[in-house]
Amino acid sequence: MKKRKNNLAQFSFPTIDFFWIILFTAFSFSFCQRTDLENASDLYSREFTETQILNCMLKGPFCSRSGDANSVPIQPLLQYDFTNGSVVNAGSLTIALSTPEATPSLTLGKDGDTNGAINYTANNQYYSSGDVGLPMGTNPRTFCAWIKPTSLPANGSHRVVFRYGSITTGNFAVLAISTATGNKISFLGYGYDALADYTILVNTWSHLCASYSGGNAADFYVNGNFIASPSFVGSGPLNTISGSLAIGTWTGGGGPADYWQGAMDDIRIYGMALSAKQIGQIYQMGVAYVE
């Protein structure tokens, strides 16, 4: 009796590469958000190729749509999300915040989480620390913060998100909202300032970023959208000298404080000038690392 050959080739099966199915599934559940695999009205979005998937798995959670495994993840130097009042820096520097006068209260965060943000209701509320490791001189940097002011500053004054550098010599860098012949968003360097025309909404969360590449202008973004690139005006160049860090005030201690009024969340300082795409990533996804 002849043995019957078990020849599967005589049957017609769809061509399925099970290896890639397993790989794609593991990748999707491990690292990708649903929108990463769709063209969800994102100019930079595209389909993932097999090569991109492999590269992304090598990179882990730092994967991008480009799938470039050679890109170096950029961690913020400083990042505070203030969840449940936490002042632990999620960035790369060791910076311990203190409250020299009074501690800001807690309020709903930008994502609606209970006690997810800090809230300023009095002029003596702020955090401070040293500023060792933050960008000095004319070195590039990017400032970002979610802000929800309860009021705008009076004409000729500011509401300071944060300031670092020397207040003794005036060599510092400040992210603020200002009023000077109109409402502004500002990168201040004490007499060498870049101000863009923009009115931040009160009692509404807005994501504010200022990116500085080391030149004579700063790029401003609100809610991921480019606003303007005003030149610095005054006696320059920018020359930040190490001193201290203050969140919610210029100086504290009874000086020209320009205290913040309202809530703050997810404050960040990066040691480079982030691009429009990178700032868009931070706004849209709230990631701690960008490419």
Q: Which residues contact 18 (CB under 8 A, 6 or more apart)?
A: none
C-beta neighbour count of 225 within 10 angstroms:
12
Which residue type sits at 130? G
Percent of the chain whose pLDDT exceeds 70:
71
pLDDT tens track for 105-118: 999 999 888 999 99
Lowest-pLDDT range of 1-15, 187-201, 239-253:
1-15
Burial pattern 175-211, b for ≥16 Cβ within 10 A else e, equals: bbbbbeeebbbbbbbbebbbbbebebeeeebbbbbbb
Q: What average pLDDT does this structure show over 270-278? A: 96
Coil/strand/helix, residue 36: helix
Q: How many residues does the chain have?
A: 291
Q: How far apart are CA 158 and CA 173, in angstroms?
A: 14
* pLDDT on residue 252: 62
| Residue 276 backbone phi and psi in degrees, to 5 | -60, -40
Domains and CATH numbers, the chain: 9-62 (no CATH), 78-285 (2.60.120.200)
Which residue type sits at 145? A
DSSP code of residue 50: H
Question: To which residue do tokens 């130097």 refer?
Answer: 77
Which residue type sits at 118? I
pLDDT over 70 (residue 178) = yes
pLDDT over 90 (residue 28) = no
- Name beta bridge partners: 178: 158, 184
Residue in 135, 183, 164 with CA at minimum distance from that of residue 252 = 164
pLDDT over 60 (residue 2) = no
| Average pLDDT along the chain | 80
Q: How far apart are CA 150 and CA 114, in angstroms?
A: 19
pLDDT over 80 (residue 49) = no
* pLDDT on residue 144: 98
141-149 and 127-129 beta bridge pairing: unpaired
Q: How far apart are CA 220 and CA 199, in angstroms?
A: 13
How is residue 256 written in tokens? Answer: 């020209």
pLDDT over 70 (residue 222) = yes
The strand ranges marked E within the chain are 78-80, 105-107, 117-120, 127-129, 141-149, 158-166, 171-179, 183-188, 192-197, 206-212, 218-222, 225-228, 233-234, 244-247, 262-270
* pLDDT on residue 153: 92
